[in-house]
Structure 1
Amino acid sequence: MSSDHLCVRTLIMFYILQLLAFASIVVQGHDQAPLVESDVRPDAKLETWLSKYGKPIDQPFSGFLSFSHIPHAVCLEDEDVSMDIAVLGFPFDTAVSYRPGARFGPYAIRSGSRRQRDIRGYTLSWGVNPYDQGVRIIDCGDIPITPFDNKLALAQMELAYTTILNRPIVSKTSGKNTVLGKDGRDHPRIVSLGGDHTIVLPILRSLYKVYGQPISVIHFDSHLDTWSGYPGSDSEESRINHGTFFAVAQREGLISNSSIHAGIRCKLAGMIDIEHDESVGFQLITTDDIDDLGIPEIIKRIRRRVGDTPVYLSFDIDVIDPALAPGTGTPEAGGWTIREVKRIIRGLAGLHFVGADLVEVLPAYDHAEITGIAAADLVHDFLSLFLSEAPPSRKHLNDEL
Structure 2
Amino acid sequence: MKMKPLQWLERKAVFMGSCDSLNEADRVLIGLPMDFTTSFRPGTRLAPYRIREVSEGIEEYSIYQDRSLEEIAFFDAGDVVIPFGNVKQSLERMEATARELLGMRKKIFAIGGEHLVSLPIIKAYADYYQGLVVIQMDAHADLREDYLGESLSHATVMRHVLKIVGKKNLYQLGIRSGTREELEYARSCSNLYLDEFYSAWDDIKLSIGSRPVYISLDIDVLDPAFAPGTGTPEAGGVTSRELLKMLVKLGGLNVVGFDMVEISPPHDIGDNTSILGAKIIREALLAF
Establish whether TM, by shorter chain, passes 0.5.
Answer: yes
For the 8 Å contact 1:131–1:137, the answer to whether it is kept is: no
After TM superposition, what 4+ stretches of structure 1 lie above 6 angstroms from structure 2? none
2:80 to 130, 138, 143: 143
Corresponding residue for residue 275 of structure 1: 184
1:222 to 139, 146, 150: 139
Give 2:60's aligned amino acid: G
Secondary structure of the structure 2 residue equivalent to 1:227 = coil
Corresponding residue for residue 337 of structure 1: 239
Corresponding residue for residue 242 of structure 1: 154
Corresponding residue for residue 267 of structure 2: 365
Q: Sort the Cα spacing of 1:112 and 1:210 in 2 relative to 1 into closer, same or farther, 3 A.
A: same
For 1:139-218, list aligned pairs within 5 A: 139-167=76-104, 187-211=105-129, 213-218=130-135
Query: In 2, Cα distance between the equivalents of 1:258 and 1:210?
Result: 16
Corresponding residue for residue 108 of structure 1: 50
For the 8 Å contact 2:147–2:153, the answer to whether it is kept is: no
Query: In 2, Cα distance between the equivalents of 1:105 and 1:198?
Result: 15
Query: In 2, Cα distance between the equivalents of 1:346 and 1:249?
Result: 24
Q: Sort the Cα spacing of 1:243 and 1:214 in 2 relative to 1 into closer, same or farther, 3 A.
A: farther
Corresponding residue for residue 41 of structure 2: 99
Corresponding residue for residue 390 of structure 1: none
For 1:2-401, list aligned pairs within 5 A: 65-71=13-19, 81=23, 83-116=25-58, 121-132=60-71, 135-167=72-104, 187-211=105-129, 213-231=130-148, 233=149, 238-251=150-163, 253-255=164-166, 257-266=168-177, 268-270=178-180, 272-280=181-189, 282-287=190-195, 289=196, 295=198, 297-386=199-288
TM-score by length of 1: 0.65
Q: Sort the Cα spacing of 1:123 and 1:219 in 2 relative to 1 into closer, same or farther, 3 A.
A: same
**Shift, 1:255, TM fit:** 4.6
Query: In 2, Cα distance between the equivalents of 1:243 and 1:127?
Result: 37
Rg (Cα) greater in structure: 1
Query: In 1, Cα distance between the equivalents of 2:269 and 2:81?
Result: 27
Aligned residues: 277
Q: Which has the higher contact order (CA 8 A, sep 6+)?
A: 2
For the 8 Å contact 1:227–1:244, the answer to whether it is kept is: yes
Deviates more, 1:216-225 or 1:346-355: 346-355
Query: In 2, Cα distance between the equivalents of 1:208 and 1:216?
Result: 9
CA RMSD of aligned residues (A): 1.9
Gap runs ≥5 in structure 2: 1-11
Query: In 2, Cα distance between the equivalents of 1:158 and 1:82?
Result: 23
Gap runs ≥5 in structure 1: 1-63, 76-80, 168-186, 387-401
Query: In 2, Cα distance between the equivalents of 1:227 and 1:356?
Result: 23
Query: In 1, Cα distance between the equivalents of 2:120 and 2:17?
Result: 28
Secondary structure of the structure 1 residue equivalent to 2:61 = coil
Q: Sort the Cα spacing of 1:125 and 1:100 in 2 relative to 1 into closer, same or farther, 3 A.
A: same
**Shift, 1:206, TM fit:** 0.8
For the 8 Å contact 1:214–1:256, the answer to whether it is kept is: no
Query: In 2, Cα distance between the equivalents of 1:214 and 1:101?
Result: 34
Structure 1 or 2: more strand by fraction: 2
Corresponding residue for residue 5 of structure 2: none
Query: In 2, Cα distance between the equivalents of 1:285 and 1:331?
Result: 19
Corresponding residue for residue 12 of structure 1: none
For the 8 Å contact 1:111–1:372, the answer to whether it is kept is: no
